[in-house]
Amino acid sequence: MSFVMTAEERETFLAGVHVGVLAVARAGRGPLAVPVWYSYERGGDVLIWMERDTVKDVAIRAAGVFSLVAQSETAPYKYVTTEGPVVANDEPPTRAQALTITRRYLPEDEAVAYVDGALGERSILVRMRPEKWLSNDQSK
């Protein structure tokens, strides 16, 4: 019996609403692993909105690659991990891009207020192109 998801299942799961965990290697230290809000559409790039020069940004720029894991919190447990190169990390997100990410996690009025307060000169949109995948679906 295999618990591995098909390509369609894993991409659909990753596109669902989950708090992601970003994992990125750091020289001389353990890997950075932090929760993040993200956006993903099947066949596309993983998008993460963050501020320039943060610990996350510095680590991602140095590594040029990162992993993202999304999981279900209740049984039957599922997870998807994807890893790939950073294909863009210096473009500012548009308001629409920031809202797309934020609306996944907050009700509309809160998402708009969050974006209006947080989107600024230091905002960047990081794009990762998924190349490697791991998955597990305990409901299979």
DSSP secondary structure, 12-32, as one string:
HHHHSS--EEEEE--TTSPPE
* Per-residue model confidence as pLDDT tens for the chain (140 residues): 789 999 999 999 999 999 999 999 999 999 999 999 999 999 999 999 999 999 999 999 999 999 999 999 999 999 999 999 999 998 999 999 999 999 999 999 999 999 999 999 999 999 999 999 999 999 98
Whether 51 is in a domain gets the answer yes
CATH of the domain at 131: 2.30.110.10
The whole-number pLDDT of residue 121 equals: 95
Tell me if 71 sits within 8 A of 138, measured CB to CB: no
The CA distances from residue 77 to 101, 135, 137, in Å, are 24, 11, 6
The whole-number pLDDT of residue 1 equals: 75
Whether 101 is in a domain gets the answer no
The whole-number pLDDT of residue 86 equals: 98
Using the 8-state DSSP alphabet, how is residue 38 labeled?
A: -
Whether 53 is in a domain gets the answer yes
Tell me if 131 sits within 8 A of 119, measured CB to CB: no
Element (DSSP H or E) covering residue 129: none
Range of the domain at 56: 7-88+126-137
CA-nearest of 37, 81, 82, 79 to 56 is 37
The whole-number pLDDT of residue 120 equals: 95
Whether 58 is in a domain gets the answer yes
Whether 55 is in a domain gets the answer yes
Whether 112 is in a domain gets the answer no
Whether 13 is in a domain gets the answer yes
Into how many domains does the chain fold?
1
CA-nearest of 97, 91, 95 to 119 is 95
* pTM, to two decimals: 0.94
Whether 84 is in a domain gets the answer yes
Q: How far apart are CA 134 and CA 97, in angstroms?
A: 27
